[in-house]
Amino acid sequence: MLLLRCPLLLLLLLLPLSSRPQKLPTRDEELFQMQIRDKAFFHDSSVIPDGAEISSYLFRDTPKRYFFVVEEDNTPLAVTVTPCDAPLEWKLSVQELPEEASGEGSGEPEPLEQQKQQITNEEGTELFSYKGNDVEYFVSSSSPSGLYQLDVLSTEKDTHFKAYATTTPESDQPYPELPYDPRIDVTSLGRTTVTLAWKPSPTASLLKQPIQYCIVISKEHNFKSLCAVEAKLSSDDAFMMAPKPGLDFSPFDFAHFGFPSDNNSGKERGLLKSSSKFGRQTSSKPRADLHKVCIGNKNIFTVSDLKPDTQYYFDMFAVNTNTNMSTAYIGTFARTKEEAKQKTVELKDGKVTDVFIKRKGVKFLRFAPVSSHQKVTFSIHSCLDAVQIQVRRDGKLILSQNVEGVRQFQLRGKAKAKYLIRLKGSKKGASILKILATTRPNKQLFPSLPEDTRIKAFDKLRTCSSVTVAWLGTQERNKFCIYKREVDDNYNEEQKKREQNQCLGPDTRKKSEKVLCKYFHSQNIQKAVTTETIRGLQPGKSYLLDVYVIGHGGHSVKYQSKLVKTRKFC
């Protein structure tokens, strides 16, 4: 039992400036719980209370010493030190208690200064020492009575750590126990997903204590403690605000430094619920290379939204939600699969190639002219939504554009050059397009289009049996064909949008839907407008009108469809 009489307690606390004695927490549970809830109890204290984990801060190359007392011989003892974001050097030693502090000592207590001198002059017997960043333990089933000293030093940088000591390790068990096989298994591996599985902690399966599992995903390395993860997540902000030199702070005040208080519940600590996407504590700035997600008591989880062909490190921590103390499984790592290599389509000089791209998909095409050339022309007809085109000549990017409708790009050629074309589909849906590559600059299969491909209807010229419409042309003489189709009155814009495949030509229409075809152009682009009156319609009926422009090579492009309605009464 950690118990100390008042004169020596003042000595242990090493508070020469304080005139009020502090009371060390005992293992009387009711009293212990009352004391541990008092945030002021351990403030500015070098005492490790029995059965409670403390958090503390270290300045680089500035050692700290912590004390606790084991009053009876043959007492079980367990001490755990958890480094957070830097390796530590620590040792545990013991020295005999002064006579007045053990047994049934009698007589007047020694003066405070004399007791203090006695402790500071005696280093004691070293029991254990460690250097590194692992969570390390000292466990003894039978420890001698005495004053125990824990000396901690960080030689690398300012850091914080956690320490825990108990004289009742069998009954306390605040840290979740690991299964006989504490490894994390990678059960499935994809391009953007990794499925992990692990064996449950006996603390949950046998002792029925509340355990939740927290997964940490990093691109840099594995972590040995959840404390190290939280330090990394918070390293950009409040964690770097160190306390004032010479002033230790309460383990309950970590919220001021960007860390959750150790006496809060798992919910208050901000441990995240299970999610298909990455989660993390919201108190820290987002980090693209590190994520934490807590998933309850499940022992299988799929991490998603990863990048292809990328190595990730995975760590698993079992967290006792009653104590908020955690134990690390053996971490693992895995590399996601590469993107499936796209089959490259070969383009032939002067021939149109049809390309289908699924939503957000990518297609690669290759054009290797057989003869030397000064220029190369790429003509693209995007039948639905806009697509993105990138062209590389011998590996160098020479074109990157979004294409909607018909576009033509003329690029400078190079002897024996090879061109790689990357087409990326729309986010809205699948994409269909036609592409032509040629080294013959005069070869144009697609007709030229005006910037505005809408059809305008004149409401004032509408009758019970006719409608009058107009559309723009170009300076190039092309053939225009107009088609009509009767539709229901509830035909709407959404249905019209689904029929906007510009690559479907007049050959897909019924002969009865054809109104007329005519040639039209104007050297004055400002006057390149044509009108047409469509007759023979029924009163009060809705019609869908389409205009097709047909190029010299026979390839057609459809203007935007127009929904019109005749007057019901005239």
Are the C-beta atoms of 566 and 458 separated by less than 8 Å? no
- Bridge partners, 334 (sequence order): 312
Cα separations in angstroms, 282 against 38, 287, 308, 320: 27, 11, 27, 21
Segment (H or E) for 7: helix 6-13
- Please indicate, yes or no, if residue 313 is contained in any of the structural domains: yes
383 and 481 fall within a common domain:
no
pLDDT at res. 498: 64
459 and 420 fall within a common domain:
no
pLDDT at res. 456: 94
Q: Per-residue pLDDT for the chain (570 aa), expressed as one digit of tens each?
A: 443 333 334 344 343 333 333 333 444 544 444 444 443 444 445 888 888 888 888 898 889 888 888 888 888 888 989 888 888 998 998 888 766 544 444 445 444 344 444 555 566 788 889 898 888 889 888 888 888 888 999 888 888 888 988 888 877 778 888 899 999 999 999 988 999 999 999 887 777 788 899 999 999 899 888 888 888 887 644 434 444 444 343 433 333 333 344 444 333 333 333 333 333 333 344 566 888 999 898 889 999 889 888 999 999 999 988 888 898 999 999 999 887 776 888 999 888 888 888 888 888 999 998 877 888 888 888 888 888 999 999 889 999 999 888 888 888 888 888 999 999 988 888 888 889 888 886 766 778 888 888 999 999 999 999 999 999 998 888 899 999 999 888 877 666 666 677 778 888 889 999 999 999 888 888 888 999 999 999 999 999 999 999 887 778 888 888 999 999 988
pLDDT at res. 286: 54
pLDDT at res. 480: 93
196 and 327 fall within a common domain:
yes
- Please indicate, yes or no, if residue 363 is contained in any of the structural domains: yes
pLDDT at res. 495: 67
- Bridge partners, 399 (sequence order): 391
| The last residue of a domain, from among 438, 464, 481 | 438
pLDDT at res. 260: 40
pLDDT at res. 494: 66
- Please indicate, yes or no, if residue 164 is contained in any of the structural domains: yes
325 and 183 fall within a common domain:
yes
3-class SS at 32? helix
Q: Tell me the angle at which helices 6-13 and 112-120 cross, rounded to the nearest 10 degrees.
A: 50
Reported as a single tens digit per residue, the pLDDT across 229-242 is 888 887 644 434 44
Reported as a single tens digit per residue, the pLDDT across 449-485 is 888 889 999 999 999 999 999 999 988 888 999 999 9
Give the residue among 410, 430, 261 at the shortest CA–CA distance from 360: 430
87 and 167 fall within a common domain:
yes
* pTM of this structure: 0.50
Number of domains in the chain: 4
- Please indicate, yes or no, if residue 514 is contained in any of the structural domains: yes
Are the C-beta atoms of 93 and 149 separated by less than 8 Å? yes
- Please indicate, yes or no, if residue 448 is contained in any of the structural domains: no
165 and 186 fall within a common domain:
no
Distance, in Å, from the CA atom of 84 to the CA atom of 133, rounded to the nearest integer, reads 8
pLDDT at res. 543: 93
pLDDT at res. 489: 80
354 and 470 fall within a common domain:
no
298 and 225 fall within a common domain:
yes
pLDDT at res. 143: 86
- Bridge partners, 62 (sequence order): none
Reported as a single tens digit per residue, the pLDDT across 289-310 is 888 999 898 889 999 889 888 9
| The last residue of a domain, from among 316, 340, 364 | 340
Are the C-beta atoms of 521 and 475 separated by less than 8 Å? yes
498 and 531 fall within a common domain:
yes
- Please indicate, yes or no, if residue 503 is contained in any of the structural domains: yes
- Please indicate, yes or no, if residue 115 is contained in any of the structural domains: no
179 and 168 fall within a common domain:
no
428 and 460 fall within a common domain:
no
Rg, the chain, Cα only: 39
* Side chain identity at residue 155, one-letter code: T
- CATH number of the domain bearing residue 134: 2.60.120.680
- Please indicate, yes or no, if residue 517 is contained in any of the structural domains: yes
Query: What is the token pair recorded at 235?
Result: 């390293």
Domain extent for 292: 175-236+288-340
- CATH number of the domain bearing residue 556: 2.60.40.10
227 and 304 fall within a common domain:
yes
Beta-carbon contacts of 430 under 8 Å, excluding residues fewer than 6 positions away, are: 356, 357, 358, 359, 361, 384
Are the C-beta atoms of 480 and 549 separated by less than 8 Å? yes
Percentage of the residues of the chain whose pLDDT score is greater than 90: 22
